[in-house]
């Protein structure tokens, strides 16, 4: 066979020899790739099978610990489980599977049962592996570990976690922020003052959900966030102020009506409307002509909720005449709101040549 190959390669024309060499390389590469895919698939199948097997085992174990008296905390059955698992040690698959099962179970329980699982986690010394992976794992591993440390109350990890709260990787950054609040509550919010990166809307929602779990007495006033340079933090501060109905200190909102960012101004109008801070309306009107169309619409919508007929009806009627259609439309909506949902013939007469427009907007709103 080898003599035939030698004859073929060395007695053929040069282009033919090149084609033959390339064909051989392609053949061997294809075979190697097929073998690699086969081995990889088998490895993945074995790993998935192992995960499924241990998931079933650990779910049964957790159920027994939580609901069976024989395995209640610090019973002989419980201590036997802890000793058995600890003595066998953990490989990566076993440890991650057990932690996943514990975290999943914690999502559906609270109170004493939640504490039982946290204690179980610590008695198995699983935090040792988590702290190790946080230092040397891939970013995907670190993201999971950050969640694990927060949910499992590994408080000694807080200083390390805080270093990730402004990490360039957005997933690591987000998980670290949630974990920090899990561990330290409102005391962890200092990271908001050091953020270089934007705080996404989803992050804001998740952080708010974590703060909702705190006692009302532990919720800080969030007006300090309005002084930050990071725009997303300022927006979040306004949303937190509205969410927790923090009316005290509202005079600080008055100073923001001349802010140079449209998104901040629109959120300010929403916050004032939510908190029913009518004193801010005159401040808005002083700056009104300098605002963009989007901000004007937000301000006019707010006037419809927190303004009063005696001071602002005239202003709204004037706005019906402006060329900015959305502003005029917002004015019509607010006129309707300030009139307690009634548009009289006197109001239509006062609207003059904009009466039909006013009526159309109101009819549209009704439907």
d(Cα 104, Cα 152) in Å, to the nearest integer?
Answer: 12
d(Cα 279, Cα 87) in Å, to the nearest integer?
Answer: 68
Q: Which of 164, 152, 207, 160 is nearest to 185 (CA)?
A: 207
Torsion of Cα atoms, 285 then 289 then 295 then 296, to 10°: 70
Q: pLDDT tens, 168-185?
A: 999 999 999 999 999 998
Q: Give the pLDDT confidence score for residue 153 in this predicted structure.
A: 93
Q: Give the pLDDT confidence score for residue 261 in this predicted structure.
A: 97
Burial of 168 (0-12, 13-18, 19+ CB in 10 A): exposed
Q: What angle do CA 65, 68, 71 make, to 5 degrees?
A: 50
Residue 341: count of CB within 10 angstroms of its CB:
10
φ/ψ bin of 111: left (φ > 0), alpha (ψ from -120 to 50), beta (otherwise): left
Q: pLDDT tens, 55-71?
A: 888 888 888 888 887 77
Looking from the CA of 168 toward its CB, the CA atoms found within 13 Å total 0
Q: Give the pLDDT confidence score for residue 6 in this predicted structure.
A: 56
Global confidence as pTM: 0.78
d(Cα 333, Cα 216) in Å, to the nearest integer?
Answer: 36
Q: Give the pLDDT confidence score for residue 266 in this predicted structure.
A: 98
* Contact status, residue 211 vs residue 222, Cβ threshold 8 Å: no
φ/ψ bin of 185: left (φ > 0), alpha (ψ from -120 to 50), beta (otherwise): left
Q: Which of 132, 102, 97 is nearest to 119 (CA)?
A: 102
Per-residue pLDDT of the chain (367 residues; tens, 9 = 90+): 555 555 555 555 556 656 666 777 777 777 777 777 767 776 666 767 778 888 888 888 888 888 887 777 777 888 888 888 887 777 888 888 999 999 999 988 888 889 999 998 999 999 998 998 888 878 888 999 999 999 999 999 999 999 999 999 999 999 999 999 999 988 999 999 989 999 999 999 999 998 998 888 889 999 999 999 999 999 999 999 999 999 988 889 999 999 999 999 999 999 999 999 999 999 999 999 999 999 999 999 999 999 888 888 889 989 988 899 999 999 888 988 888 777 777 777 777 778 778 777 777 665 5
Alpha helices of the chain — where are they, by DSSP H? 2-11, 14-67, 76-88, 92-106, 112-123, 126-136, 139-151, 158-163, 170-184, 201-212, 231-243, 251-254, 262-275, 281-287, 293-306, 309-319, 325-338, 345-351, 355-366
d(Cα 66, Cα 75) in Å, to the nearest integer?
Answer: 12
């Amino acid at each position: 066979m080898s003599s035939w190959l030698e004859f073929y390669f060395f007695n053929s024309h040069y282009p033919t020899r090149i084609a033959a060499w390339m064909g051989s390389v392609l053949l061997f590469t294809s075979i190697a790739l097929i073998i690699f895919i086969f081995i990889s698939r088998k490895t993945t199948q074995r790993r998935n099978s192992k995960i499924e097997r241990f998931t079933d085992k650990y779910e049964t174990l957790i159920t027994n610990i939580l609901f069976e008296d024989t395995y209640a905390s610090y019973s002989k059955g419980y201590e036997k489980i802890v000793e058995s698992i600890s003595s066998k040690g953990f490989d990566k698959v076993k440890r991650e599977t057990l932690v996943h099962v514990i975290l999943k179970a914690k999502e559906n329980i609270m109170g004493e049962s939640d504490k039982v699982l946290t204690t179980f986690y610590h008695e198995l010394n699983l935090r040792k592996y988590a702290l190790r992976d946080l230092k040397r794992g891939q970013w995907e591993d670190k993201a999971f570990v950050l969640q694990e440390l927060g949910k499992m109350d590994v408080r000694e990890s807080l200083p390390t976690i805080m270093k990730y709260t402004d990490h360039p990787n957005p997933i690591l950054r987000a998980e670290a922020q949630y974990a920090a609040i899990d561990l330290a509550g409102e005391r962890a919010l200092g990271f908001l003052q050091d953020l270089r990166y934007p705080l996404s809307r989803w992050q804001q929602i998740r952080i708010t959900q974590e703060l909702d779990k705190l006692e009302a007495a532990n919720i800080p006033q969030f007006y300090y966030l309005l002084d930050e340079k990071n725009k997303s933090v300022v927006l979040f501060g306004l949303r937190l102020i509205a969410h927790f109905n923090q009316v005290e200190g509202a005079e600080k909102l008055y100073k923001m009506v001349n802010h140079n960012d449209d998104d901040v101004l629109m959120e300010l109008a929403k916050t004032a409307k939510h908190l029913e801070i009518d004193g801010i309306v005159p401040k808005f009107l002083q700056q009104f002509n300098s605002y963009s169309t989007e901000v004007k619409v937000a301000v006019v919508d707010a006037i419809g909720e927190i303004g009063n007929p005696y001071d602002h009806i005239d202003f709204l009627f004037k706005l019906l005449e402006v060329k900015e259609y959305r502003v005029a439309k917002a004015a019509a909506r607010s006129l309707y709101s300030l009139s307690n949902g009634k548009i009289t013939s006197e109001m239509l007469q006062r609207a003059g040549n904009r009466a039909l427009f006013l009526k159309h907007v109101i009819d549209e709103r009704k439907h």
